[in-house]
């Protein structure tokens, strides 16, 4: 190997190492939120929900009576944010702390719902789907370029039987074939 080639080889390794370190935080965020969002048909990746249902005696109640009865069953904040009759059978009452009370008149049921954001995942997912826009776009663009560099530079990192011409090449090919199989299923 010529001296110039050796220098380039060493530079590539150093850059790969340093960019790899830089990418750790971003990779954790995107990988964890990617897993969480991939399965959003099976669970809510952003919020955990607490639900309780209480059956009331079947009798006519005004919204004030519903509210006062609800306090006997659930721990509700003192002040409500607002209330709304969705239809003649369904009353929704909104409280702070993402708490909702639903009264189903025809079934004489009180439904209590409290939604709590998942502390880390809510934020990771927000970053993954770019809720913030602004500077986060630039930061995640840079991360994408870093990933691209890490992928391409890896091809020239190792020589010999673990390099691109032998084992590395086979693994790279597998890594291309798997997405290619799915690629052609997209119309």
Partner 1 sequence: MKKIALLISLLVCTTSFAQSFGKKVSKSELTPISELLADVKKFEKKEVTIKGMVTNVCSMRGCWMEFASDKEYQSLRIKVRDGDMVFPISAKGKIAYATGTLNHTTFSKDQLISFAQKRAEKTGKPADLSKITGPETYYQFIPVGVTIE
Residue 88 Cβ, how far from partner 1 at the closest point, in Å?
7
Of 9 and 98, nearer to partner 1 (C-beta) is 98
| CB neighbours of residue 149 within 10 Å | 16
Pick 129 or 151: Cβ nearer partner 1: 129
CB contact at 8 A, 124 and 32: yes
CB of 50 to partner 1, least distance (A): 13
Nearer to partner 1, 64 or 87 (CB): 87
Residue closer to partner 1 by CB (options 110, 168) is 110
Residues that bind partner 1 (CB under 8 A): 40, 44, 46-47, 49, 80-82, 84-88, 92, 94-95, 98, 100, 115, 117, 126, 129-131
Task: Give the full edge-to-edge strand order of the sheet including 82-87.
Answer: 47-55, 109-117, 99-104, 90-95, 82-87
Nearest to 108 by CA among 90, 93, 94, 92: 90
Residue 16 C-beta: closest distance to partner 1, Å: 32
Minimum gap (Å) between residue 9 Cβ and partner 1:
41
E-only strand ranges, the chain: 47-55, 82-87, 90-95, 99-104, 109-117
- Reduced to 3 states (helix: H, G, I; strand: E, B; else coil), residue 51 is strand
């Amino acid at each position: 190997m010529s001296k110039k080639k050796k220098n380039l080889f060493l530079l590539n390794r150093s850059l790969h190492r340093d960019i790899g370190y830089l990418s750790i935080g971003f990779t954790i965020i995107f990988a964890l939120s990617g897993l969480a969002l991939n399965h959003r048909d099976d669970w809510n990746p952003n919020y955990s929900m607490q639900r309780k249902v209480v059956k009331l005696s079947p009798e006519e109640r005004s919204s004030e009576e519903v509210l006062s009865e609800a306090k006997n069953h659930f721990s509700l904040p003192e002040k409500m944010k607002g209330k709304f009759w969705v239809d003649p059978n369904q009353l929704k009452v909104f409280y702070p702390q993402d708490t909702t009370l639903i009264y189903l008149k025809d079934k004489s049921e009180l439904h209590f719902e409290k939604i709590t954001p998942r502390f880390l995942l809510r934020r990771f997912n927000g970053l993954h789907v770019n809720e913030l826009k602004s500077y986060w776009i630039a930061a995640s663009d840079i991360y994408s370029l870093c990933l691209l560099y890490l992928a391409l530079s890896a091809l020239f990192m190792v020589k010999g039987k673990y390099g691109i011409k032998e084992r590395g090449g086979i693994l790279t090919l597998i890594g291309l074939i798997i997405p290619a199989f799915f690629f052609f299923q997209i119309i």
